[in-house]
């Protein structure tokens, strides 16, 4: 089984699906001959040509609007937004049109497509290249939201997303584009949407994370173990729909939970997760749930490592929760 980083795994998934299904095409800024700003689409233009790997003008609304039109006519577009921060000029197209076509047409026009975009901090990108906008799309009925943490999951989840009948926001944690490496199966396989993965088992505290923060959660769990606190670490993988069964099962086992995400704390996905835990597992809780998140400020440039919920911020929350 070959070793790949996340960039290679996503590229492999796109290449495989474009060979398998002639309806699949990619479009976005600089994704063709350049191969994308992070080189995720490198080599696809040479194989599939201008008709299926389309360099677009710098217009996110235009990219998504064109992709929606393609989807309504039976193609399966995979548009790329160069950075997640740039998705907002296309927000109206996504939430007012794309998210609603399947519902408003009674399933006649499902507008099947996947919007890929890199998200999160960790590359010194400042406040215009580091945001995590997942909660702003999770709130919109009709969209699915995915954020892989490992190369194998990135390939399997992307293949599943492209084949899914609903529109999917596929958020790629750019901090681990090349830092995360692992074995990736060759050929065809999918990771089902809506299923979390238990990345580490423990009995005292549940840590819930996704994307690049999974690795910070695992590091904090290892350091907590050295102090006698063993953690379940749950990688959500699909942010919406949530695998609430996996969350509840872990919380019932440990009685304690810490949720970690890069986005600001207020109205972040962590708040929804805590609310669902209170609704479905309240009598099993032995301590108040904690959130370790970004702050309610613009993403800073020079203070990036203070803003991000890295291991050194997660560990105290885990220990405090364990000892409550």
What's the CA gap between 54 and 46, in Å, rounded? 12
Whether residue 241 has a cis bond before it, omega within 30° of 0: yes
- For tokens 């080599």, the residue is 43
SS3 state at 83 = coil
Helix, strand, or coil (residue 184) = coil
Q: H or E stretch including 168?
A: strand 168-173
Which residues, 6 or more positions from 23, have their beta carbon under 8 angstroms from its beta carbon?
Answer: 74, 75, 76
Distance of CA 52 to the CA centre of its chain: 25
Instruction: Tell me the chain's radius of gyration from C-alpha atoms.
Output: 19
Catalytic residues: 129
Listed in sequence order, the DSSP H helices in 139-262 are 151-163, 213-225, 244-254
Residues 222 and 231: their CA atoms lie apart, in Å, by 8
């Amino acid at each position: 089984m070959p070793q790949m980083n996340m960039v290679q795994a996503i590229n492999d998934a796109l290449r495989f699906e474009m060979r398998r299904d002639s309806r699949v095409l990619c479009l976005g800024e600089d994704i063709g001959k350049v191969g994308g700003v992070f080189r995720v689409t490198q080599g696809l233009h040479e194989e599939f040509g201008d008709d299926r790997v389309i360099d677009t003008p710098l217009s996110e609304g235009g990219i998504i609007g064109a992709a929606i039109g393609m989807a309504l006519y039976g193609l399966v577009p995979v548009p790329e937004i160069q950075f997640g921060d740039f998705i907002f000029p296309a927000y109206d197209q996504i939430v007012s049109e794309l998210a609603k076509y399947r519902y408003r047409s009674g399933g006649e026009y499902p507008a099947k497509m996947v919007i890929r975009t890199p998200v999160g901090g960790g590359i010194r990108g400042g406040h215009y290249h580091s945001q995590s906008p997942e909660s702003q799309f999770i709130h919109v009925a009709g969209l699915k939201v995915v954020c892989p943490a490992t190369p194998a999951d990135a390939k399997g989840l992307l293949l599943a997303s492209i084949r899914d009948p609903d529109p999917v926001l596929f958020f790629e944690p750019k901090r681990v584009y090349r830092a995360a490496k692992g074995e990736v199966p060759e050929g065809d396989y999918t990771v089902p949407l809506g299923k979390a993965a238990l990345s580490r088992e423990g009995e005292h505290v549940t840590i819930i994370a996704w994307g690049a923060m999974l690795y910070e959660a695992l590091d904090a769990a290892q350091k907590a173990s050295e102090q006698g606190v063993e953690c379940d670490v749950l990688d959500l993988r699909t942010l919406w729909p949530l695998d609430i069964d996996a969350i509840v099962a872990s919380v019932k086992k440990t009685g304690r939970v810490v949720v970690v995400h890069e986005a600001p704390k207020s109205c972040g996905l962590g708040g929804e997760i805590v609310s669902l835990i209170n609704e479905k597992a309240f009598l099993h809780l032995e301590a108040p749930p904690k959130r370790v998140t970004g702050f309610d400020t613009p993403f800073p440039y020079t203070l990036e490592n203070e803003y991000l919920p890295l291991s050194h911020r997660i560990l105290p929350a885990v220990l405090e929760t364990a000892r409550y």
